[in-house]
C-alpha cells in the first residue's frame, strides 16, 4: 500500500503535539510584562545581549496565538483570551511606527534591548511578526476586542509598508516568500488593493526567478526550504486570488521536489550541501513536519520522538503525491545516485553535487564560503540510529570565519577541494561585521574537519587514525579518508593535530595560536589548504594519486583516477576575483 496523506489523522496528531508544546511554554508566560520570559538565545549577531533572561517580541506574539488556540481547544479557561490580547497589545506597542525612521515597521528582538541598542536591527522582524499578527486575525479575529483588532490593522499597515520599502528580492528565499504572504494576506483581508497588487507582483517575480534559476536561491536549506514550504502552504490556505493560488502551487511543488530529491533514507537525513543550516542533523521538529506532510512514508515514528511548534496547529503540511515515495524508508540501500544542480542557471559558480549511496551521503558546492550557517561540504553515514556527520570549518578564535572560501569538485564519494580566503566579506557574518583594512585580530586560526554524532556516545566509537599527513575515520562500515594535498601559508607554521570536545571529534590544521595579533590578509603571499576526501565501504581508500602544480599563485590539482581537476588562487583577494579564477572540472 502506497504511503498517503490523511488529513484527519494529521489534525488529531497536530492537536496532541500542540498540547505538548503549549504546556511546555505555558510556564514561561510573564504576566507582569504580558510576554514570555526565556533565556537569551543568539546566533552571534544582530543583538548585543549574550546571556540572561529576556522577553522576546516574536516569541511573545507566537505564544499569544497559542494561548488563543488553547482557549478554543479548552486547554485553558476562557479568561486567558484577555491575557492573550494583552500580550498582543504589549508587543504591538513596541513596533517602530514612525515612517521617517530608518527602522520603520520593525521590532527589536527583545523588550530589554530597543532597536537603537542593537548591533544591527533585523528587518526580517516585519515579516516574522507580521505573519504572527495575521494568524491572530485570521483564526481569532471574530472574537478579539475592537481595540485589539484596530491595533492589529494599524500595526500590519506599518509592517507591510516596511516590507514593501525593503522590497526583498527572490534571492533571499524564506523572506521573499514570507513577505509575499504577509503583504498578500494583508491586502486581501483588509481590502488594501495596492498592497495586494504588490504581493501578487512579488509572487510572480519569485516564480519567474525560480523557473529561470531551476531551483530556490537558498539552495537545499533544511531550515529555510521547509519554512518556505510551510509559508507557501499558508498562502495556499489563506489567499483567495486564483492567479496567486496557481503560482503558489507551482512554487510549493518545486520546493518539495528539491526536498524529496535530497532526502537520504539510509541515514534519515537531509543530504547536503546546505546553503543555510543551523544543525547538521534534522531536528525533531523538522523530522516531524516531513513525517506529517508525507503520511507514513518515513515509517512509523514513536510519538514521543515528535515535536511541533504551536504555530503549526492550523497548517496542514502536504507533500505533493508525486514525491511522497522518495521519503520511503524502503529506499534505504538503493543504488547510489548523483544529483548535479545549478541553482542559478546563468551563473556556473552556483553548482552543487550530491552523492546518495546505500551507506552514506556526501554533498558539495563548487564554490562557497564557510559562514557558520553554510555546509558547503557535508557527509552523513552510520545508518538511521547511529548517524554521524563530517563537515569543514575555518575557525577564527573559535568562531566560524565568514571570509574563508572553499571550492570542490566531486564524483560519487570522492572530492578534491580547498579552503582559501577573501578580505572583502565579514568575520562572524557575511556582511554585518565587515573586515576593516583587510585586517583581522587573531589569537587562533585553524581549519577543522568536525565530526558530530546524533548520539554523542557514538563519538567514542569512532576510529580515527593518522598515517603521515593523511587521516582515516572509520565507523559503521564506512571509511572517510582525508588526504592533505597542499598547505601553503609562509607566514605561519601550520600543523595537523587531532581535535576533541564534548560534542565533537575531528582533525585540525592549526595555522596560528598565540598572542592575539593583527593579520593583514592582503599582505599574505599565500594562504590555502587543499585536500582530497574519499568515502568508501569495505576497506579504507589508499592515498590518492593527486598531482599538483603552480602557475604563479594559482594551484592546479588533478586526480586522474576520479576524473577530477580544480584550480584555486592561493593569495587572498576580493571574493569576486577569487571566484573568477577558481575553475573545476569533472570528467
Q: Please check whether residue 238 is in contact with residue 138, taking contact to mean a CB–CB distance below 8 angstroms.
A: yes
What per-residue confidence (pLDDT) applies to 342? Answer: 82
Phi-psi region of 584 (alpha: psi -120 to 50; beta: other; left: phi over 0): beta
Domain boundaries of the chain, sorted by first residue: 31-142, 341-586
What per-residue confidence (pLDDT) applies to 175? Answer: 96
What per-residue confidence (pLDDT) applies to 541? Answer: 85
- Could you read off the pLDDT of 175-232 as tens digits, one per residue? 999 999 999 999 999 999 999 999 999 999 999 999 988 778 889 999 899 999 999 9
Beta strands in 50-193 (DSSP E): 53-54
- The model's confidence at residue 1, banded by pLDDT at 50, 70 and 90, is very low
- Exposed, middle or buried, 424 (CB in 10 Å: 0-12/13-18/19+)? middle
List the grid coordinates of 338: 548523483
Using CA atoms, how far apart are residues 183 and 199, in angstroms rounded to an integer? 5
What percentage of the chain reaches a pLDDT higher than 70? Answer: 98
Q: Judge whether residue 246 has pLDDT over 50.
A: yes
What per-residue confidence (pLDDT) applies to 6? Answer: 54
List, in order, residues 6 or more apart from 540 with CB less than 8 Å away: 472, 474, 479, 481
Kindly compute the dihedral angle of the four CA atoms of residues 223, 116, 168, 36, in this order, to the nearest 10 degrees: 40
- The model's confidence at residue 8, banded by pLDDT at 50, 70 and 90, is low
Q: Please check whether residue 409 is in contact with residue 415, taking contact to mean a CB–CB distance below 8 angstroms.
A: yes
Q: What is the DSSP string of 369-435?
A: E--TT-BSEEEEESTTTS-EEEEEEEEETTEE-TTEEEEEEEETTEEEEEEEEBSSSBSSSSSSSBP
Q: Judge whether residue 453 has pLDDT over 80.
A: yes
Mean pLDDT of the chain: 95
- Could you read off the pLDDT of 369-395 as tens digits, one per residue? 999 999 999 999 999 999 999 999 999
Q: Please check whether residue 526 is in contact with residue 516, taking contact to mean a CB–CB distance below 8 angstroms.
A: no
3-state helix, strand, coil in the chain (%, to 5): 35, 30, 35
Using CA atoms, how far apart are residues 84 and 200, in angstroms rounded to an integer? 32
Q: How far from 417 is each of 273, 315, 349, CA to CA, in Å?
A: 14, 42, 15
How wide is the angle at C-alpha 352 spanned by C-alphas 349 and 355, nearest 5°? Answer: 155
- Could you read off the pLDDT of 137-170 as tens digits, one per residue? 999 999 999 999 999 999 999 999 999 999 999 9
- Could you read off the pLDDT of 319-328 as tens digits, one per residue? 999 999 999 9
What per-residue confidence (pLDDT) applies to 44? Answer: 63
Which of 131-140, 336-345, 433-442 is predicted least confidently?
A: 336-345
Amino acid at each position: 500500500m502506497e504511503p498517503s496523506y490523511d488529513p484527519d489523522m494529521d489534525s488529531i496528531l497536530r492537536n496532541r503535539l500542540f498540547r505538548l508544546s503549549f504546556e511546555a511554554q505555558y510556564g514561561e508566560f510573564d504576566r507582569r510584562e504580558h510576554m514570555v520570559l526565556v533565556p537569551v538565545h543568539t546566533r552571534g549577531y544582530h543583538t548585543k545581549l549574550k546571556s540572561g533572561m529576556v522577553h522576546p517580541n516574536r516569541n511573545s506574539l507566537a505564544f499569544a496565538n497559542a494561548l488563543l488556540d488553547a482557549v478554543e481547544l479548552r486547554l485553558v479557561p476562557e479568561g486567558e483570551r484577555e491575557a492573550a490580547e494583552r500580550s498582543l497589545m504589549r508587543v504591538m506597542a513596541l513596533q517602530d511606527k514612525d515612517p521617517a525612521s530608518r527602522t520603520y515597521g520593525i521590532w527589536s528582538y527583545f523588550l530589554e534591548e530597543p532597536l537603537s541598542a542593537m548591533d544591527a536591527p533585523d528587518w526580517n522582524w516585519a515579516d516574522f511578526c507580521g505573519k504572527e499578527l495575521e494568524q491572530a486575525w485570521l483564526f481569532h479575529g471574530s472574537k478579539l476586542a475592537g481595540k485589539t483588532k484596530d491595533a492589529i490593522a494599524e500595526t500590519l499597515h506599518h509592517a507591510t509598508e516596511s516590507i514593501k520599502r525593503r522590497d526583498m528580492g527572490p534571492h533571499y528565499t524564506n523572506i521573499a516568500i514570507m513577505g509575499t504572504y504577509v503583504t498578500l494576506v494583508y491586502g486581501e483581508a483588509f481590502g488594501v488593493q495596492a498592497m495586494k497588487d504588490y504581493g501578487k507582483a512579488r509572487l510572480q517575480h519569485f516564480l519567474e526567478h525560480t523557473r529561470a534559476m531551476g531551483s530556490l536561491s537558498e539552495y537545499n536549506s533544511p531550515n529555510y526550504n521547509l519554512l518556505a514550504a510551510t509559508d507557501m502552504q499558508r498562502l495556499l490556505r489563506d489567499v483567495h486570488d486564483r492567479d496567486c493560488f496557481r503560482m503558489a502551487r507551482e512554487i510549493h511543488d518545486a520546493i518539495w521536489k528539491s526536498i524529496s530529491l535530497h532526502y537520504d533514507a539510509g541515514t534519515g537525513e537531509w543530504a547536503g550541501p546546505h546553503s543555510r543550516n543551523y544543525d547538521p542533523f534534522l531536528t525533531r521538529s523538522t523530522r516531524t513536519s516531513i513525517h506529517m506532510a508525507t503520511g507514513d512514508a518515513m515509517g512509523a515514528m514513536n510519538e514521543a520522538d515528535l515535536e511541533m511548534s504551536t504555530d503549526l496547529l492550523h497548517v496542514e503540511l502536504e507533500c505533493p503525491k508525486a514525491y511522497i515515495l522518495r521519503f520511503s524508508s524502503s529506499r534505504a540501500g538503493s543504488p547510489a545516485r548523483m544529483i548535479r544542480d545549478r541553482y542559478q542557471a546563468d551563473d556556473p559558480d552556483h553548482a552543487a553535487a550530491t552523492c546518495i549511496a546505500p551507506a552514506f551521503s556526501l554533498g558539495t558546492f563548487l564554490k562557497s564560503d564557510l559562514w557558520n550557517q553554510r555546509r558547503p561540504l557535508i557527509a552523513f553515514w552510520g545508518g538511521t540510529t547511529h548517524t554521524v556527520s563530517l563537515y569543514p570549518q575555518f575557525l577564527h578564535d573559535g568562531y566560524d570565519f565568514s571570509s574563508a572560501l572553499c571550492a570542490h569538485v566531486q564524483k560519487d564519494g570522492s572530492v578534491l577541494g580547498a579552503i582559501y580566503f577573501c578580505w572583502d566579506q565579514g568575520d562572524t557574518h557575511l556582511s554585518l561585521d565587515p573586515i576593516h583594512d583587510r585586517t583581522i585580530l587573531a589569537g587562533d586560526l585553524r581549519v577543522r574537519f568536525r565530526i558530530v554524532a546524533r548520539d554523542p556516545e557514538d563519538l567514542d566509537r569512532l576510529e580515527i587514525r593518522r598515517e603521515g599527513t593523511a587521516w582515516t575515520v572509520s565507523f559503521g562500515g564506512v571509511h572517510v579518508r582525508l588526504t592533505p594535498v597542499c598547505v601553503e601559508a609562509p607566514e605561519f607554521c601550520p600543523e595537523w593535530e587531532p581535535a576533541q570536545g564534548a560534542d565533537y571529534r575531528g582533525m585540525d590544521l592549526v595555522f596560528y595560536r598565540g598572542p592575539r595579533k593583527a593579520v593583514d590578509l592582503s599582505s599574505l603571499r599565500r594562504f590555502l589548504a587543499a585536500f582530497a576526501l574519499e568515502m568508501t565501504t569495505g576497506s579504507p581508500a589508499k592515498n590518492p594519486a593527486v598531482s599538483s602544480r603552480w602557475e604563479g599563485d594559482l594551484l592546479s590539482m588533478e586526480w586522474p583516477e576520479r576524473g577530477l581537476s580544480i584550480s584555486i588562487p592561493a593569495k587572498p583577494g576580493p571574493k569576486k576575483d577569487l571566484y573568477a579564477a577558481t575553475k573545476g572540472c569533472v570528467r
